[in-house]
């Protein structure tokens, strides 16, 4: 389905309807967002292993691109911790120690991620976002935060960086704490204390910006650089340089693969933030449009020499608290960020790197969602185990392979849960005309002699088809005297070739036992697959029904048994096969396919049976 042009440009809808009385709130929110984004972008550039200006370059055009294309009126995009650490790990393996090469690769990764997301948005594959479950995303982010903090501690305390795996780095830091530079440690820890205490006592104040300004002032006054404190150094002043990054052809394969991973992380974090505020403020989010908008923001960031971006939970929350009502907030923040680049970057020369490390640690610390882990333990321990597995995967394998591990874990969990089949024996619910439910633990729900009604609790598909046949036949063999089996396929919205073949095997094995198969509550798409495969011809046109009650009645009538008078199979006087419209208490407007020559009113069938009994 194609969209109207305005459908691809949400700004074409909200800008003409914008009211002037919302302007003060959006301008204030934009200023606060810029105050948060600038110091964080400097720190995240350090995480990504590139000069600090690369973080600043990513802000202006990315905000503009999302403001025009984003479906969320509140989401704020920019450099974030998860994307930065993944970008840094990808670049470190390719840059060979060259700063210029690292900058070019960083921008190329952003563009590659953006193109992948734009293509996904145009192709409308937003549904794929759901393959990363919330517990796995929680664990993945938890592991990334631990990696980030571990990587920032040396800079915070004035220690040489550690190499090796995460355990070796942690042990190296603990064993060399005595080698920390006292002045650097004093600066870093002081900034950290101010950030955490300030955020706790006065959360609405942009403490990151205040710490940034204060650290520059103290460094300049006390000449901390002369005392051995590492500083940022000279930062280029002016607007971001626009253009494609200069990379070699040999860099393209890792850039493309890494860009896809980067885009997936960016989308997962951005969608998480967008959905939180969409639910809280009651408005819809278009996942496909978010792919397009996040992709365009990354392409814009890369073309301006910046690193990859994503939606930011902390900056979005600050914008909403300040009164943001539309994406004009993003446009205002972009203007302020551009102003900083043009006028104030020269002042960053004396900024201690320890202060940047403190800003980064405080910014990512809030992503350690311990409350979510406690909830997983209380609600479902398997969710907690999935989160822990994702976290350990990141810590042991690194961000890229940890991400792939998390995605594989999600897919494996989905297939595993879908392949675990439970077959319910169904019984008539007393007091309700057409309701059937599981008879397990409900002895009052009556079954029908000779007619076994089974329901699958998961969709029938290629991964569980063999197991379904095995369990159904085992259940049938446990109920001698069965002459008819009704298989409820309500959980299966569509079928594949493997599952149809499995139904063929089931049909043959049941008939070899003298048992007839009936299918009930089959969706239209599944019926179409059964028709095209020829299975319906082999099954029989009177062997598929929209309701369990009708199927039970047909099974008993086909054996010429007396028509039951109780509610379990009673139908209206003018009943016509295939005319049921109630499926498990819900309306079903899909017409059933029946042979017109076989259709006759229930009253006529009763009269024929009565006449046959009289003549006998």
> Mean pLDDT lowest for which of 99-108, 272-281, 414-423, 565-574?
565-574
Does residue 265 surpass a pLDDT of 50?
yes
Cα separation, 150 vs 174, whole angstroms? 11
The answer to whether the beta carbons of residues 85 and 265 sit under 8 Å apart is no
Q: Which residues contact 34 (CB under 8 A, 6 or more apart)?
A: 59, 332, 333, 336, 337, 340
User: From 3.30.450.40, 3.30.750.24, 3.40.50.150, 3.40.190.10, which CATH number describes the 421-615 domain?
Assistant: 3.30.750.24
Neighbouring residues of 42: CB distance < 8 A, sequence distance ≥ 6 = 52, 55, 56, 212, 232, 348, 351, 356, 359
- CA–CA distance, 172 with 84 (Å, rounded to integer): 24
Residue 280 to residue 264: CA distance in whole angstroms? 24
DSSP annotation of 560 reads T
What is the per-residue pLDDT for 397? Answer: 86
HEC secondary structure over 72-141? CCCCEEECCHHHHHHHHHHHHHHHCCCHHHHHHHHHHHHHHHHHHHHHHHHCCCHHHHHHCCHHHHHHHH
Cβ contacts of residue 396 below 8 Å, gap of 6+?
A: 165, 166, 402
pLDDT at 19: 92
Pairing state between β 484-488 and 451-456:
parallel
Structure tokens at 412: 């494996």
Count CB atoms within 10 A of the CB of residue 119.
14
- DSSP result, 4-34: PHHHH-THHHHTTT--GGGHHHHHHHHHHHH
To 10 degrees, what angle do helices 81-95 and 99-122 make? 130
Position 386 scores a pLDDT of: 85
Q: Name beta bridge partners: 231.
A: 352
Which of helix, strand or coil describes residue 313? helix
pLDDT bin (cut points 50, 70, 90) of residue 403 is confident
Is the pLDDT reported for residue 448 higher than 60? yes
Which residues are CB-contacts of 608 (< 8 A; sequence separation ≥ 6)?
none
- The radius of gyration computed from the CA coordinates of the chain, to the nearest angstrom, equals 32
Q: What is the band of 610 on the pLDDT scale with cuts at 50, 70, 90? A: very low
Q: Cα torsion for 390, 391, 393, 397, to the nearest 10°?
A: 140
The pLDDT tens digits for 345-380 are: 988 999 999 999 999 898 888 888 899 999 999 998
The overall longest dimension of the chain from CA atoms, in Å, is 117
**Token pair 């969608």 in the structure block, residue:** 271
- Tokens found for residue 168: 């070796």
Q: Which position has the higher pLDDT, 550 or 276?
A: 550
pLDDT at 211 (0 to 100): 94
Measured in whole angstroms, how far is the alpha carbon of residue 236 from the centre of its chain? 38
pLDDT digits (tens, 9 = 90+) for 162-221: 777 788 888 888 888 888 999 999 999 999 999 999 989 998 888 999 999 999 999 999
pLDDT value, residue 616? 39
Query: CATH 3.30.750.24: which residues of the chain?
Result: 421-615
Claim: this prediction has a pTM higher than 0.85: no
Q: What are phi and psi for residue 451, nearest 5 degrees?
A: -115, 115
Query: Which has the closest alpha carbon to 492: 507, 484, 502, 483?
Result: 502
Q: For 276-414, list the strands marked E by DSSP.
A: 310-312
pLDDT per residue over 458-484, tens digit each? 899 888 899 999 999 999 999 999 999
């Amino acid at each position: 389905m194609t969209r109207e042009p305005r459908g691809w440009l949400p700004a074409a809808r909200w800008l003409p309807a914008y009211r002037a009385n919302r302007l003060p709130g959006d301008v204030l929110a934009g200023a606060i967002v810029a105050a948060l984004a600038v110091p964080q972008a400097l720190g995240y550039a350090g995480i990504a292993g590139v000069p600090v200006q690369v973080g600043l370059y990513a802000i202006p055009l990315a905000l503009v691109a999302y403001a025009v294309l984003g479906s969320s009126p509140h989401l704020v995009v920019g450099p974030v911790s998860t994307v930065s650490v993944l970008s840094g790990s990808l670049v470190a393996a390719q840059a060979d120690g060259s700063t210029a090469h690292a900058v070019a690769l960083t921008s190329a990764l952003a563009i590659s991620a953006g193109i992948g997301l734009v293509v996904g948005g145009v192709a409308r594959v937003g549904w794929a976002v759901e393959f990363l479950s919330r517990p796995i995303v929680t664990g993945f982010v938890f592991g990334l935060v631990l990696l980030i903090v571990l990587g920032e501690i040396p800079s915070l305390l004035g220690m040489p960086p550690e190499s090796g795996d995460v355990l070796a780095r942690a042990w190296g830091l603990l064993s060399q704490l005595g080698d920390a530079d006292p002045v650097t440690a004093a600066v870093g820890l002081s900034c950290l204390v101010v950030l955490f205490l300030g955020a706790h006592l006065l959360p609405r104040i942009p403490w990151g910006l205040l710490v940034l300004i204060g650290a520059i002032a103290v460094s300049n006054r006390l000449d901390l650089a002369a005392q051995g404190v590492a500083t940022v150094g000279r930062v280029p002043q002016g607007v971001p340089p626009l253009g494609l990054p200069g990379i070699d052809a040999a860099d393209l394969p890792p850039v493309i693969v890494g860009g896809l991973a980067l885009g997936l992380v960016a989308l997962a974090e951005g969608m998480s933030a967008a959905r939180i505020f969409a639910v809280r403020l009651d408005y819809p989010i278009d996942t496909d449009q978010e792919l397009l908008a996040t992709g365009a923001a990354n392409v814009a960031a890369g073309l301006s020499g910046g690193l990859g971006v994503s939606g930011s939970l902390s900056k979005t929350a600050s914008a909403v608290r300040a009164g943001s009502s539309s994406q004009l907030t993003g446009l205002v923040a972009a203007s302020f960020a551009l102003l900083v680049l043009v006028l104030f970057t020269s002042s960053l020369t004396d900024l201690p790197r320890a202060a940047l490390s403190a800003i980064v640690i405080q910014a990512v610390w809030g992503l350690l969602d311990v409350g979510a882990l406690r909830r997983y333990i209380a609600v479902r321990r398997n969710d907690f185990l999935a989160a822990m597995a994702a976290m350990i995967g990141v810590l042991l394998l690194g961000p890229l392979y940890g991400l792939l591990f998390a995605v594989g874990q999600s897919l494996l969990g989905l297939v595993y849960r879908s392949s675990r089949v439970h077959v319910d024996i169904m019984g008539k619910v007393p007091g309700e005309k057409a309701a059937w439910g599981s008879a397990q633990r409900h002895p009052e729900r009556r079954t029908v002699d000779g007619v076994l009604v089974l329901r699958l609790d998961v969709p029938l598909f290629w991964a569980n088809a063999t197991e379904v046949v095995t369990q159904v036949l085992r259940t049938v063999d446990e109920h001698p005297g069965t002459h008819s089996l009704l298989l409820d396929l309500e959980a299966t919205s569509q079928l594949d070739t493997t599952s149809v073949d499995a139904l063929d095997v089931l049909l043959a094995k049941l008939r070899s036992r003298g048992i007839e198969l009936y299918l009930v509550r089959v969706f239209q798409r599944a019926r179409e697959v059964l028709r095209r495969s020829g299975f319906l011809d082999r099954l029989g046109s009177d062997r598929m029904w929209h309701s369990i009650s009708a199927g039970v009645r047909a099974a008993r009538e086909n054996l010429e048994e007396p028509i039951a008078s109780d509610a379990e199979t009673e139908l209206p006087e003018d009943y016509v096969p295939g005319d049921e419209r109630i499926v498990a208490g819900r309306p079903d407007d899909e017409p059933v396919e029946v042979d017109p020559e076989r259709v006759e009113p229930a009253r006529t069938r009763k009269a024929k049976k009565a006449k046959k009994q009289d003549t006998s």
